[in-house]
């Protein structure tokens, strides 16, 4: 009798052991997938190569081939004129241990190695899928134009920028490849000394390409001028605000007219003159 039960007990134990084993593997797989899924979402601060599509479209289109990074590393303009040796490549491919960037996708860190704005923009034509949109950096004559690059926007922290303290610093201004266009110096009188002037760097958002050469040149311990993705650097006023002088913005609102937009409330029933002799009232 005992000999008949032994195989049943062994089979039952094996069943429960296998079930626990598979459940453990499933749990481990779920944890690994959760970690990968979290890693698959890049930080909103990630800087992409020139002409990259909007982030969601870029991630759907990029096949993680690395050809853009290879073209960046092997470009002719990658030779340092002073040393005659190759400079580190701007574009890197995110690895598993790269913080905040989708694994296998190209990115760059401006403070480490900025974009040197090559005339022929070699990384863009190298892309086989259109994740880097060549048309967006092509001018009216059909030529690649580095002035049309848009990797982000340089932002100045006026609290840590020593030029705003009154110290004479124009390193970001001089490092900018579009000097006196993307970054201009605003001269104001230094009333504290009465003798010197402030040379305050001002970024033109319509010209800045986000190359990061200014960030690399900044002498402060933590760069006082830094590149952010444009949609992070710029505010968003809201769909109900319209630039009347901007035809494209007017087209966005369609046929709506001002008389259809009202801001009247209880206070609007009175005229401004009614409040002159009554003091301040919020009713």
Q: Which helix (H) or strand (E) holds 20?
A: helix 2-39
Q: Which is nearest to 203 in space by CA: 247, 167, 158, 246? A: 158
pLDDT band at 239; cut points 50, 70, 90:
confident
pLDDT band at 136; cut points 50, 70, 90:
very high
List pLDDT tens digits, range 119-133: 999 999 999 999 999
Asked if 139 and 148 touch (Cβ cutoff 8 Å), the reply is: yes
Task: Decide yes or no: CATH 3.30.70.20 for domain 153-238.
Answer: yes
Give the 3-state secondary structure percentages of the chain, helix then strand then coil, rounded to 5. Answer: 35, 10, 50
% of the chain at pLDDT higher than 90: 54
Give the angle subtended at the CA of 59 by the CAs of 56 and 65, to the nearest 5°.
Answer: 160
pLDDT band at 261; cut points 50, 70, 90:
low
pLDDT band at 33; cut points 50, 70, 90:
very low
pTM, two decimals, is 0.72
- Residue with the two structure tokens 């630039």: 243
Q: What is the pLDDT of residue 172?
A: 97
Please tell me whether residue 203 adopts helix, strand or coil conformation.
Answer: strand
Rounded distance between C-alpha atoms, residue 218 and residue 203, angstroms: 14
Measured CA to CA in angstroms, residue 210 lies from 158, 176, 234, 250 at distances of 18, 10, 13, 28
The length of the chain, given as a count of residues: 283
Residue 37 has pLDDT above 50, yes or no: no
Residue 195 has pLDDT above 80, yes or no: no
Domain ranges of the chain: 38-151, 153-238
Residue 22 has pLDDT above 80, yes or no: no
Q: What would the mean pLDDT of 50-59 be, rounded to a whole number?
A: 95
Query: Mean pLDDT of all residues in the chain?
Result: 84
List pLDDT tens digits, range 210-233: 999 999 999 999 999 999 999 999
């Amino acid at each position: 009798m005992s000999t008949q039960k032994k195989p049943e007990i062994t089979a039952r134990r094996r069943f429960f052991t296998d079930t626990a084993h598979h459940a453990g593997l499933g749990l481990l797989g779920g944890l690994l997938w959760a970690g990968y899924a979290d890693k698959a979402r890049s930080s909103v601060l990630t800087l992409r190569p020139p002409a990259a599509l909007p982030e969601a479209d870029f991630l759907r289109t990029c096949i993680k081939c690395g050809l853009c990074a290879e073209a960046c590393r092997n470009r002719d303009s990658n030779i340092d004129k002073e040393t005659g040796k190759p400079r580190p490549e701007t574009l890197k491919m995110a690895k598993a241990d790269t913080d905040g960037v989708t694994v296998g996708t190209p990115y760059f860190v401006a403070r480490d190695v900025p974009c040197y704005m090559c005339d022929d923009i070699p990384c863009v034509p190298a892309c086989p899928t259109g994740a880097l949109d060549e048309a967006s950096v092509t001018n009216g004559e059909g030529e690649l134009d580095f002035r049309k690059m848009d990797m982000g926007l340089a932002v100045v922290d006026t609290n840590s920028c020593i030029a705003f303290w009154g110290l004479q610093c124009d390193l970001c201004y001089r490092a900018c490849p579009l000097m006196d266009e993307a970054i201009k110096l605003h001269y104001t009188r230094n009333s504290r000394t009465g003798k010197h002037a402030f040379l305050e760097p001002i970024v033109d958002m319509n010209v800045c390409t986000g190359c990061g050469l200014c960030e690399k040149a900044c002498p402060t311990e933590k760069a006082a001028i830094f590149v952010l993705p444009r949609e992070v650097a710029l505010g968003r006023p809201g769909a109900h605000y319209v630039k009347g002088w901007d035809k494209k913005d007017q087209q966005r609102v369609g046929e709506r007219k001002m008389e259809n937009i009202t801001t009247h409330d209880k206070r609007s029933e009175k005229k401004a003159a009614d409040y002159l002799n009554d003091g301040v009232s919020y009713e």
